[in-house]
Amino acid sequence: MNLIFEPGIWSFANPEIWVGIGLLIFFGILIAAGVPKLVGSQLDAKAAKIQGDLDEAARLRAEAEALLAQIRKEKVEAEAQAADMMAAAEADARRLEVEAKAKLEETLARRQKMAETRIAQAEAQAAAEVKAAAVDLSAKAAEQILAARLSGQSKDPLLDAAIAQIGDRLN
């Protein structure tokens, strides 16, 4: 049943007793040498290092969250600024379009007026040329008619001179 109550288990001839006594002496030496304190201090140092790493990780996480919040805020601001710039650009484009239309209409009106003026000048010049040609033609015709009427009569040098001057005076 139980090994503790068997005869001969507690005798010094039993090698298991010597293993147990050696183990107790070994643990005693370890305790006397301060190994538990050394192990404890090593474990405490390791725990402190891990705690420091955890604190550093928490600080870095907080910084990352703050940076992420700032980036999101800047993104919203940049999107708002981009929307404002787009609206301003569209307004400028509309304004430039209206100005361009106005300038185009003004230019077209000015060119149309210039063309009408040139046409009026050409018409006036053509009318003047037609009038001058009509005057020349009528003077020549009058000269021929008068010459034909007078050819039947005797020639008068004063009348011939007056007829010759009619063409010059009508122009």
Q: What is the pLDDT along the chain (171 residues), one digit of tens a residue?
A: 466 667 767 777 878 888 989 999 999 998 998 888 999 999 999 999 999 999 999 999 999 999 999 999 999 999 999 999 999 999 999 999 999 999 999 999 999 999 999 999 999 999 998 988 888 888 888 887 777 776 665 566 676 677 777 777 665
CB 142 within 8 A of CB 166: yes
Dihedral sign (CA 72, 73, 77, 83): positive
What is this structure's pTM?
A: 0.41
Look-up of token digits 């190994």: 35
Structure tokens at 64: 């990352």
Q: What is the pLDDT of residue 144?
A: 79
Report the alpha-carbon distance of residue 72 to residue 60 in Å, rounded.
18
Q: What is the pLDDT of residue 61?
A: 96
Question: What three-state secondary structure class fits 154?
Answer: coil
Structure tokens at 156: 């008068």
- DSSP at 1: -
Q: What is the pLDDT of residue 140?
A: 83
Q: What is the pLDDT of residue 98?
A: 95
Q: What is the pLDDT of residue 154?
A: 57
